[in-house]
C-alpha cells in the first residue's frame, strides 16, 4: 500500500504515476489549488447562463446541431441526453487498469480549471477510483476527433448510475455499485456532460500503459540479444563505445552501453577470441545498438508527447477566468479544438512502427538460433534428437506469425480520417485506433521476446561447460526458474505464457539497465 497520495492539480503526469494508479491503486486526491480554479471557472459558466449568452455545449446542440439554441428548462436534459446518446461503443471492454487510467486522467483535466465543471464532478471520479468502481467501456467506437466521445460517454454513464461497471470482481449495474459504495449518482449541471466527454483520455490511458510496457520490452530486447549473441558465439566488438560515440544518438549510446554491460566477463567470448574465422556477425547481432537504440529514441519521443498530453486541457469549449467582469465582456469561454487526438495518434503510430521493427530483429535472431545453416554448431532447432523431435522449430513459426500480424497492425491509423457528424467533424485523428493497435503489438512483442529468451537459454545449454557473461548467466538462471531445459519435445505453449507473465511481473527488470 502507498503511504502517500497523488494530488491532482492539472499537472503533467508521468507514465509511472499513471501505472501506479491504474495497476497498484495509488490513492488520488484533489489539490486545494485545483478546487479554487474549478470554482472560479464554474462561476464563469454560471454568469454566462445568468446573462443569457449563447455558448456552444452549454445551451446549444452539439456537432452539426451546434446552431440549435436550447431553452433554459431543457439544459439538464441536454447534458443527460449527450451522455446517453454517445455511449454507443462496441466490442469487448477495456481492461480495468485502462479504465482506472481514464478516471485519473479525466479528473486531472477537470483539475486544470478550464472545463467549467463543478468540484463535485472531479470528486466523483476520484471516489470511483477510491472504491475501484470501473465503468464498462467498450474498446471500439472512437475516431479521436472531439476526443474519445464514445469511451468517455461510457465512463460518464457509470457516474450517473447507468450502464454497467466492474466492481468487486463482478460486472454489475452501476446503480447498485454506487449504492453499495455510498456514492450518490452524479446529477449533471450545464456544460458538465460535455466536460466529461470531450478529450483524449481513453487513447491516452490505453496507449500510455501500452507505451510503458513497450519501454520495458525495448530494454529487455538487449538482454535477449546478448543471450543470443553468447549462444551463437558472436562478438561484442561492434558495441565498442567509440563506434557508438561516432554516431551519438541517445538511444544508440544507451543500447551500446547496456550491451557492453551485459556481455562483460564472458568465458564463451574468450574461447573464440583468437581463432574465429568470422570477421563480422550478421546485422541482427551486430546492429543491435543501432536498431534497439532507435527504438528507445522513438519510444522516448512518444513518452514526451504523452506526458504533455496528460497535463493538458483537451475539452471544448475552454473556460478562461480573467476577472469579475460580465461574461460577455470577458470573452472567457472560447471554442477550439484541443480535443483532436492528432498528437497522440502520430506518437502511437510511430511507437507501433518502431516496436514492430524490434519484433523483426528479434525474430531474425530466433531464426539464427534454430536454423542449422546459421546457428554456429548448435543442434538443429535446439534439440539433440532432430528428426524425431522438432525442438524449437514451431516457437520460431509462432514468432514469425506474431511479426506478420504486427506488420499489419503497424499501418498508421492517423492517416485514415473519415468525416463524421454531418461533415462538421470532417478531419479526425483515429487516435484510439492507434492506441488499441499499439497495445496489440506490445502483447505480440512480449511473446516474441519470451520466445527469444527461451531459445537463447536453450542455446547456452550447448556451450557448457563454458559460461556466458556474468549478467547473462544471472538472467539465464532467472529464465531457467520459469522454463526448464528441453530434454525432449513437450508443448511449449505454457512455457511461453509463463515467461511472458514473468516479464510483466518484472522478474527480469534487474537486467533492463
Residues assigned a catalytic role: 56
Q: 3-state SS string over 361-394? A: HHHHHHHHHHCCCCCCCCCHHHCCCECCECCCHH
Buried b (16+ CB within 10 A) or exposed e, 472-493: bbebbebbeebbeebeeeeebe
Residue 295: name the closest of 442, 412, 163, 149 by CA: 442
* Residue 496 Cα distances to 144, 200, 400, 455, 488, angstroms: 35, 34, 15, 11, 16
Contact (Cβ atoms closer than 8 angstroms) between residue 352 and residue 211:
no
- Give the span between the Cα atoms of 56 and 61, in whole angstroms: 7
To the nearest 10 degrees (0 to 180), the angle between helices 250-262 and 288-309 is 120
Instruction: Read off the C-alpha cell for 154.
Output: 461510457
Decide the pairing of beta strands 6-8 and 28-30: parallel
Look up residue 425 and give its three cell numbers.
Answer: 467533424
Residue 253: count of CB within 10 angstroms of its CB = 17
- Grid cell of 482 as nine digits: 520459469
The DSSP code for 239 is: G
| HSE, side-chain direction, 13 A CA sphere, residue 25 | 10
| DSSP β-bridge partners for residue 318 | 334
- Integer Cα distance of 329 and 43 in angstroms: 15
The CB density around residue 325, as the number of other CB atoms within 10 Å, is 11
- The CA distance from 100 to 103, in Å, is 5
Closest CA to 318 of 37, 87, 69: 37
Instruction: Spell out the residues 6+ positions from residue 485 whose beta carbon is closer than 8 angstroms to its own.
Output: 458, 461
SS3 301: helix
Please give the Cα distance from 363 to 343 (Å, whole number): 31
Q: How far is residue 362's CA from residue 346's CA, in Å, rounded to a whole number?
A: 25
CA distance linking residue 203 with residue 151, whole number of Å: 9
Tell which residue, 87, 76, 112, has the closest CA to residue 191: 76
- Write the DSSP symbol of residue 140: E
C-alpha grid cell for residue 372?
Answer: 542449422
- CA dist 347 and 210 (Å) reads 12
Amino acid at each position: 500500500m502507498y503511504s502517500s497520495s497523488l494530488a491532482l492539480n492539472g499537472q503533467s503526469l508521468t507514465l509511472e504515476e499513471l501505472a501506479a494508479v491504474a495497476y497498484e491503486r495509488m490513492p488520488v486526491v484533489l489539490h486545494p489549488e485545483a478546487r479554487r480554479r474549478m470554482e472560479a471557472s464554474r462561476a464563469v459558466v454560471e454568469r454566462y447562463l445568468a446573462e443569457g449568452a449563447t455558448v456552444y455545449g452549454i445551451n446549444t446542440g452539439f456537432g452539426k446541431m451546434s446552431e440549435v439554441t436550447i431553452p433554459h428548462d431543457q439544459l439538464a436534459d441536454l447534458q443527460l441526453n449527450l451522455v446517453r446518446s454517445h455511449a454507443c461503443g462496441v466490442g469487448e471492454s477495456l481492461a480495468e487498469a485502462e479504465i482506472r487510467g481514464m478516471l485519473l486522467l479525466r479528473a486531472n483535466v477537470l483539475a486544470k480549471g478550464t472545463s467549467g465543471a463543478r468540484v463535485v464532478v472531479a470528486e466523483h471520479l476520484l471516489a470511483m477510483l477510491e472504491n475501484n468502481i470501473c465503468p464498462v467501456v467498450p474498446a471500439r467506437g472512437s475516431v479521436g476527433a472531439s476526443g474519445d466521445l464514445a469511451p468517455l460517454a461510457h465512463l460518464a454513464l457509470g457516474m450517473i448510475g447507468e450502464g454497467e461497471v466492474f466492481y468487486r470482481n463482478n460486472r454489475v449495474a452501476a446503480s447498485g455499485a454506487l449504492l453499495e459504495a455510498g456514492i450518490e449518482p452524479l446529477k449533471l449541471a450545464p456544460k458538465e456532460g460535455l466536460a466529461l466527454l470531450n478529450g483524449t483520455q481513453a487513447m491516452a490511458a490505453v496507449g500510455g500503459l501500452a507505451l510503458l510496457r513497450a519501454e520495458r520490452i525495448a530494454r529487455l530486447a538487449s538482454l535477449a540479444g546478448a543471450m543470443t549473441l553468447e549462444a551463437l558465439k558472436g562478438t561484442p566488438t561492434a558495441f565498442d563505445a567509440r563506434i557508438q560515440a561516432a554516431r551519438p544518438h541517445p538511444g544508440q549510446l544507451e543500447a551500446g552501453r547496456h550491451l557492453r554491460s551485459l556481455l562483460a566477463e564472458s568465458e564463451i567470448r574468450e574461447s573464440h577470441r583468437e581463432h574465429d574465422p568470422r570477421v563480422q556477425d550478421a546485422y541482427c547481432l551486430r546492429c543491435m545498438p543501432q536498431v534497439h537504440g532507435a527504438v528507445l529514441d522513438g519510444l522516448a519521443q512518444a513518452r514526451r508527447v504523452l506526458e504533455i498530453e496528460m497535463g493538458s486541457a483537451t475539452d471544448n469549449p475552454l473556460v478562461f477566468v480573467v476577472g469579475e467582469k460580465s461574461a460577455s465582456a470577458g470573452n472567457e469561454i472560447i471554442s477550439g479544438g484541443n480535443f483532436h487526438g492528432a498528437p497522440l495518434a502520430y506518437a502511437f503510430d510511430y511507437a507501433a512502427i518502431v516496436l514492430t521493427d524490434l519484433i523483426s530483429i528479434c525474430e531474425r535472431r530466433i531464426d539464427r538460433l534454430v536454423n542449422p545453416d546459421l546457428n554456429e554448431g548448435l543442434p538443429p532447432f535446439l534439440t539433440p534428437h532432430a528428426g524425431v523431435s522438432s525442438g524449437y522449430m514451431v516457437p520460431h513459426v509462432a514468432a514469425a506469425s506474431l511479426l506478420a500480424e504486427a506488420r499489419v497492425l503497424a499501418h498508421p491509423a492517423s492517416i485514415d480520417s473519415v468525416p463524421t457528424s454531418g461533415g462538421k467533424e470532417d478531419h479526425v485523428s483515429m487516435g484510439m485506433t492507434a492506441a488499441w493497435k499499439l497495445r496489440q503489438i506490445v502483447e505480440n512483442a512480449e511473446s516474441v521476446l519470451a520466445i527469444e529468451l527461451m531459445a537463447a537459454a536453450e542455446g547456452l545449454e550447448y556451450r557448457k561447460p563454458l559460461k556466458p557473461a556474468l549478467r547473462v548467466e544471472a538472467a539465464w538462471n532467472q529464465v531457467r526458474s520459469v522454463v526448464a531445459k528441453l530434454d525432449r519435445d513437450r508443448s511449449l505453449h505454457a512455457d511461453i505464457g509463463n515467461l511472458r507473465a514473468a516479464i510483466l511481473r518484472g522478474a527480469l527488470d534487474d537486467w533492463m539497465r
